[in-house]
Amino acid sequence: MTDLAFRGDVVPLRKPAPEPSEFGAAMLAGLDRANKWVSAKFFYDTAGSQLFDRITELPEYYPTRTEMGLLQTHVQEIARLIGPDATLIEFGAGSSRKVALLLDALERPRAYEPVDISGEYLHEVAKKLRETRPALAVHPIVADFTKPFALPGGDARRIGFFPGSTIGNFDRADALAFLRRAARMLKGGGLLIGVDLVKDPARLHAAYNDAAGVTEAFNKNLLVRANRELEADFDLDAFAHYAFYNPSMRRIEMHLVSLTTQCVSLCGRRIFFAEGETIHTESSYKYTVEGFAALAEEAGFVSRKVWCDAGGLFSVHWLEAGA
Ligand code: AVI
C-alpha cells in the first residue's frame, strides 16, 4: 500500500506499462535509428512462415527448387562424405522434404536435433518425423540459433545442416560469428550448408519482386504483425514493398517505404516517418563459391566439396570441422 493510499486519497489505478516483448523492443530500438532497421527474424510468425512457404514455390524464386535438385542429385555422395552414425543438427527446422531426403540416405543416423526459436512449429516437425521414422531419436531444441545455445551432451559425431541460404540473411560479421560457433559445436563432424550465389542482377531482382505479390505480402506482414501484437496502427497502403540488388554489397535489400509523411503508434510511442523514408527489413547476401569457402575457412572449417547447378545459381558446401 502506498503512502497516498494510506492517507485515503483516491489513487488512480495505473497499471505499470508492460515490458515490451522481444519483437516490441526490437521494433522500438530499430525505428528509433536514423536509418530505420528491423531484423528479418521477426518476419516468421505463423502467417509469415506460411507466406515464406508460398515464396519457395514461386516461379521466380529459384533457390529452394535448385537446392532441392542439388540435394537429390548428390545425396549418395553427401551421405558417403558424412559417414555412418551421425547426429544431424538442423539450424532452423525448415522444409521437412530436404531433411527427409538426407536422413533416408544416411547410414544409421543416430539422432535428428532440429533447432528453432518457435517451439510450437518445432514440435510439429518432430511429431511428423517420429511418425514416419519411429526408429530415429528426435530431440527438438527450442533456441535462437543466431545466438550461442547448448546442445545435449554425448559422444555423437555431429553434422550440421543449414539449407536455404539462410546464412545470406546474416551480415558478414554475424555470418562469421555463426560459422565460428558452428565449427566449435561440430568438432569432429561437419556442416552441410546451402548458399545462394552472385548472378545476373535482373534474375535476383525478379526473385524478390514476384508478379503475384507474395514477397510484398511477406514484407508487409511485419507491419500486420506489429498491428496485432504491439498495438501499432500501421496503414498498410501507406507503405510500399521495395526490394533491389545492391551490387557493391552483393546483397538484395528489402525495405518498406513510407509513401507519405506520417506518425505511427507502436507500444504506446509515436514514430515519425518522412515521405520516402524506409524501414530496412532484410538483407539477403549472395556469395561466390570461393568467397563463401574462404569465409568458412576463416571460421575454422575445411572446405571439402561444393556442388553447384549447371546454371551457377546455387551452391551446397560440405565443410569439415577438424577434430
Ligand atoms: C530465408 N531467406 C533465405 C530468404 C531469402 O531469400 O533471403 C527470405 C526471403 N525474403 C524474401 N524472399 C525470400
- pLDDT tens digits for 68-80? 999 999 999 999 9
Whether residue 121 has its Cβ less than 6 Å from ligand 1 = no
Mutate to test the pocket of ligand 1, among 170, 171, 208 (most ligand atoms within 8 A of CB): 208
pTM > 0.75:
yes
pLDDT single digits (tens) 162-208: 999 999 999 999 999 999 999 999 999 999 999 999 999 999 999 99
With a cut of 50, say whether residue 6 has pLDDT above it.
Answer: no
Bigger pLDDT: 122 vs 212: 212
User: Exposed e or buried b for every residue in 29-42, given b needs 16+ CB within 10 A?
Assistant: ebbeeeebbbbbbb
Whether residue 315 has its Cβ less than 6 Å from ligand 1 = no
Q: Band of the pLDDT at 5, cuts 50, 70, 90?
A: very low
The pLDDT of residue 72 is 98
Mean pLDDT of the chain: 92
With a cut of 50, say whether residue 140 has pLDDT above it.
Answer: yes
Q: Are 86 and 106 in contact (CB under 8 A)?
A: yes
End-to-end Cα, the chain, rounded Å: 61
Q: Are 78 and 192 in contact (CB under 8 A)?
A: yes
The pLDDT of residue 168 is 98
195 by Cβ neighbours in 10 Å (0-12 / 13-18 / 19+) ranks as buried
Whether residue 222 has its Cβ less than 6 Å from ligand 1 = no
Name the closest-CA residue to atom 2, ligand 1: 166
Rounded to whole angstroms, how far apart are CA atoms 276 and 255?
Answer: 11
Mutate to test the pocket of ligand 1, among 195, 284, 315, 316 (most ligand atoms within 8 A of CB): 284
65 by Cβ neighbours in 10 Å (0-12 / 13-18 / 19+) ranks as middle
Residues 6+ apart with CB under 8 A from 283: 40, 168, 169, 171, 249, 251, 252, 253, 254
Whether residue 215 has its Cβ less than 6 Å from ligand 1 = yes
Rounded to whole angstroms, how far apart are CA atoms 114 and 141?
Answer: 6
pLDDT single digits (tens) 29-87: 999 999 999 999 999 888 998 999 999 999 999 999 999 999 999 999 999 999 999 99
